[in-house]
Structures are given as C-alpha cells and as structure tokens.
Amino acid sequence: MKIIGRKKEIEQLEKIYDSHKNEFVAITGRRRVGKTYLVSQLFENRITFYHVGISPNKLKEDEKRRKIDVQLEAFYASLLIRGYKNNKRPKNWFEAFSMLIDFLESKKDEERILIFIDELPWLDTPKSNFISAFEWFWNIYGANKSSLMLITCGSSTSWMLNKVINSHEGLYDRITYSIHLSPFTLGECEQFFNEKGYHLSKYMIATVYMVLGGIPYYLNYYQPTQSINQTIDELFFKGGKLSLEYDNLFESSFDKEKLTRRIVEFLADRKKGYTRKQLVESLDISDGDDVGSVLKALINSDFIREYTPYGESKKNKYYKVIDSFCLFYIHNVKNNTSIDKNPFNDDASSKWIGSAFENICAYHLDTIKNKLGINGIKTLQFSLFVEPDEENRGAQIDLLIERKDKTIHLIEMKFYDKEFSVDKSYHLNLMNKIDRVKSLSKNRSTIYLNLVTTFGLSKNEYFGDFVECITLDDLFM
C-alpha cells in the first residue's frame, strides 16, 4: 500500500537525504501513527542499517530481569542481518556502537549511508548507559561523516524531546531536523480507505474517525461489511485486535504509566476538561514535578490539549482529552463487556459524541478558517464556559475565534445523522451566548454565529441565526 498523505514530511525527508552532508533526524508521534511505515516505505531500498527496539510489553518474565541483554542481543542480530561478520556479541552499548562503526566503515564507499533506529526510547533500559554510548557514537563518528544520515523514531515523545531533540548534554544542538507526525485528517482517511477499495460515505468515515481517530494502524482493521457496532465489538471485546491496545498505549509510551492513565481518565470525564488545581484535588495527588511532567508528555503526544477559556487569565489553564481512541475507549469500552447499544444514537453517549466531534473540528481548524475566508487573518482560538448567575443564564461555546480586526466567530458544532434544525429554545440559547460574549468583549467586537454540522442546516424561521454553515463535506477538503 502506498504512503497516504505525509506530503510535507516526504518532501522534507527526501531533501534531507539529498543534502550531501551528515544529518541527524528525530521523528516523533503517538504510538501507531505511522512513523515506522513512513520511513521504511519511503527509503525501502536505501536503508544501510535498520534496528527497532524491543517493546517492554513483549518481554517474557525472565527477559524483564535482563532487559539490557535482550536489547543488545537484538541490536547484534540486526547487524548480522545486514551482513556484519563478527562472532562476538556486544557486552554493553559502547561495544555495540563500536560494532556499528565497524560495519559502517565497510560501507564507506557508498554515496549515502542511511541508519534507521526505530523506537529509540526502548533501548534506554535502566542502568544500561545507552544514552552515553549513543552520544559517543554520534559525536565521535556520525557528526564527522558527510555521507551519513541517521533517522531515529520514538513513540515516547517526552523521552525523545528530553533526551534527544532538546538535550542539554552530549546531544545538545546535534539534531539537524525534527519531524512530528500527526494523525490523519479526514481527507487522508478517505484516501486511505479508497486505496483499500472501501468507498465509504463521509458520514461513515467521520463515525469511524470518532472511534479510532486518524491512526492508520487502527483504521487498517476496519471492515466495511460490518455495522459500526459489529466493528466495535470485534475490535475491542473478547480478545479483539485492539482489546489490549489501550493498556499497551500507556505502558509503552509513558514512564509514569499509572499516574498518566489516571489523569487521562479523569480529564475525559468532562467535555471542557479540568484545571490543574481541580485535577490534583480530585485525584488527591501532590501537585509536583510528576504531574507537570505527565501533563507535558500528554500534550507533546497529542493526547490532551492545554487551553485558556475566553475572558479568563492565562494562568487559568484547562486540560482536555483530544485523542479520539482514548476518549471512545474510556466512555464506551472501559468497564463494559460489549457494545449493546449504538453509541452514536444512544442519548447516554451524547457527552462523548459532543467531545469527539468537537475534537474533529478543532483538528481541522485551518479548514474551517479557510471556509470562513479568514485563513490569512491572524486569530486566537478559545472555548468559553460562563457559569449562570442571578441575572444571566450560563453559556458554553465550543469554539470562539477572535480576529485581530475586532471580529469574533462563535462556532457551534453538531453531529447529526440529518440536517440540523434550530428550534426556538436553541435560538434563545444562541442569543444568550451572543449577549454574554458582547459583555465579555465590552461591545468592541462584531460577532458572527457559525455552525459546523454533518449535513447542513434545515431552513426555518431561525436558520438565519447562522451566518455560515460548514458541513462535513467541507472538512474533507
């Protein structure tokens, strides 16, 4: 299967490959997003040496007690596969990288030497001294070879950032390029399914997206001959192919796995998320470096988003879950044994559906701005949550776009299986939202109401409340 999307990344990597100088590239992105596939397919016949770290989840009990030996044995095996001739296994990482240098020297007449080390964080086992040896390899050898290009990948984005990309030690300022691989857009998902011969409606693709996110590995398991309920049941329950993925996701991507999982599951409980203060008080945990590092790791891995509601102090930051797979799992799979009802029609799932569709829209913000004709205008994006008081109703706005030219767009988001209709109650709710924003902006801004919904807006006496209606079709552009 050809590489779907990733045009910017492909152009960048090819340009780096043709640079005729030594290059050190670090690629980050959440687990299963397609980092390995991109590099291995793009450079299929051009990789001189390839190695992937052994997942800690795949180690047997006896292997867990000797993690460094297992990783070294695998590294040595990768050298042998590439034709390295040496009967002596490395005892430590310095010996291992010395062997790699020896192997690369046998290839020194080649115009371009490409090394691809995948899942680099998994090689850094406790007391292995891996980082010191890796730094030594690059500084003493790699940085001095104009023919050498090194690509490293890792699903633990925080590890990659701290130990490699933003290192203040031996690898300081050694990275020549860093690339972050994000999930597919809706349009890329459509290309993915078309390539597999699945010509799905945009509504069905969006439905699948709300369950699996834009993660190619997960999307690959979708079967178009089944209903969405059958798909969910087969993938998530009774030993399904994704039944263990949620646990593996945290165990393989984060150092503080248990704390990270608790934080994500707590934040997912409310559409707007929580502040850090609310988080530590509710979970009864210490507000120290551990919480800060976990939140940072989750943000860098595209699991949560940090934001400040409109009209509030920048210090009053909220954190909310934006990973579609985790959001679906927490609300519909965790603590269940099967999907008895359609999660897209069940009223009890409305909280999850609202959050999931809002996340899709936020991920396609540039597309929304382009449809509104404001792509070239500098903007700030917010959410708005106003508690009711004695004189006014409360107000919640999914997305508020504030333009530099004193114009505000209030974006409502509705996931429906038919045209959305504005009734009198919702009309009054919209008018209240406008009034609350006018008050917060001190009447200094022009305010437009916009709607993002699946199949458009039905015409009635209130449909004119919205200046612009953006449909699901628009989000695929």
Per-residue pLDDT tens digits for 68-126: 899 999 999 999 999 999 888 999 999 999 999 999 999 989 999 999 999 999 999 98
Per the structure block, which two tokens stand in for 454? 């699946």
Residues 84 and 97: their CA atoms lie apart, in Å, by 13
Q: Which two tokens mark 242?
A: 């994704």
Which pLDDT band holds residue 386 (cuts at 50, 70, 90)? confident
Q: Identify the CA nearest to 77 among candidates 93, 96, 59, 105.
A: 96
Amino acid 66: pLDDT: 80
Which is more confidently placed, 296 or 57?
296
Q: Which of helix, strand or coil describes residue 436? A: helix
Identify the pLDDT of residue 346: 52
Instruction: Give the model's confidence band at 65: pLDDT under 50 very low, under 70 low, under 90 confident, else very high.
Output: low
With 0-12 / 13-18 / 19 or more C-beta atoms within 10 angstroms meaning exposed / middle / buried, residue 65 is exposed
Whether 74 contacts 133, CB under 8 Å: no
273: phi > 0 → left, psi -120 to 50 → alpha, else beta; which?
A: left
Instruction: State the Cα–Cα distance between residues 304 and 310, nearest whole angstrom.
Output: 19
Averaged confidence pLDDT in the chain: 92
Distance CA 27, CA 32 (A): 13
**Pairing relationship of beta strands 446-453 and 304-307 according to DSSP bridges:** unpaired
Angle, to 10 degrees, between the axis of helix 93-105 and the axis of helix 130-140? 30
Distance in angstroms (rounded) separating the CA atoms of residues 108 and 125: 31
Q: Is the pLDDT of residue 313 over 90?
A: no
pLDDT of residue 431: 95
pLDDT tens digits, residue range 414-443? 999 999 999 999 999 999 999 989 988 887
Residue 364 corresponds to which amino acid? Answer: H
Cα separation of 460 and 453, whole Å? 16
Confidence of residue 62 (pLDDT cuts 50, 70, 90): low
Per-residue confidence (pLDDT) for residue 63, from 0 to 100: 60
- Encode pLDDT of 162-189 as tens digits: 999 999 999 989 999 999 999 999 999 9
Q: E strand or H helix at 11, and its extent? A: helix 7-17
* Total residue count of the chain as it appears in this document: 477
For residue 88 the two structure tokens come to 């002596």
Does 348 have pLDDT greater than 60?
A: no
Q: How confident is the model at residue 215 (pLDDT cuts 50, 70, 90)?
A: very high
- Do residues 65 and 71 make contact, with C-beta atoms less than 8 angstroms apart? no
Question: Per-residue confidence at 342, pLDDT binned at 50, 70, 90?
Answer: confident
Pairing mode of beta strands 379-386, 318-321: unpaired
Question: Which pair of tokens denotes residue 87?
Answer: 């009967």
- Average confidence (pLDDT) over 206-226: 95
